[in-house]
């Protein structure tokens, strides 16, 4: 299975550093949140019915020092809804860009 990779960058690096705990709380409050690992890796799983052959996550978010790295393996409606809500909340607080692995702006 192929995944798409995106980088969420913050125009104001200080905002991310000072609001990291709040960002983590927003992620863990998402309906699709399923697990976290080592305080910087978060998994989301769509709420739609799934095959037992599917991976145990649809999205992995890695909270890096100055950015958030996203690996999206699948994006059912519930994942799209939660990611859109998360990005909308962050945008209401600070300016961000979400680019693909080639540095091109994504549609998020």
What confidence tens digit (pLDDT) does each residue in 26-52 have? 999 999 999 999 889 999 999 988 776
Domains of the chain and any CATH numbers? 4-100 (3.30.310)
- Look up tokens 């994504």; give the residue: 106
**What pLDDT score does 104 carry?**
86
**What pLDDT score does 23 carry?**
98
- Global pTM? 0.90
Contact 10, 102 (CB under 8 A): no
What confidence tens digit (pLDDT) does each residue in 47-80 have? 988 776 667 889 999 999 999 999 999 889 999 9
Question: For residues 88 and 4, what is the distance between their CA atoms, to the nearest angstrom?
Answer: 20
Residues with Cβ < 8 Å from 86, sequence gap 6 or more? 26, 27, 30
């Amino acid at each position: 299975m192929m995944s798409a990779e995106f980088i969420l960058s913050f125009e104001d690096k200080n905002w991310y550093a000072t609001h990291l705990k709040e960002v983590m709380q927003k992620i863990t409050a998402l309906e699709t949140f399923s697990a976290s690992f080592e305080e910087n890796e978060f998994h989301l799983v769509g709420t739609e019915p799934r095959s037992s052959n599917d991976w145990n996550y649809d999205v992995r978010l890695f909270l890096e020092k100055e950015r958030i790295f996203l690996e999206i393996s699948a994006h059912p409606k519930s994942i799209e809804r939660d990611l859109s809500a998360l990005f909308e909340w962050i945008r209401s607080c600070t300016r961000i860009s979400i680019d693909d692995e080639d540095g091109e702006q994504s549609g998020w």
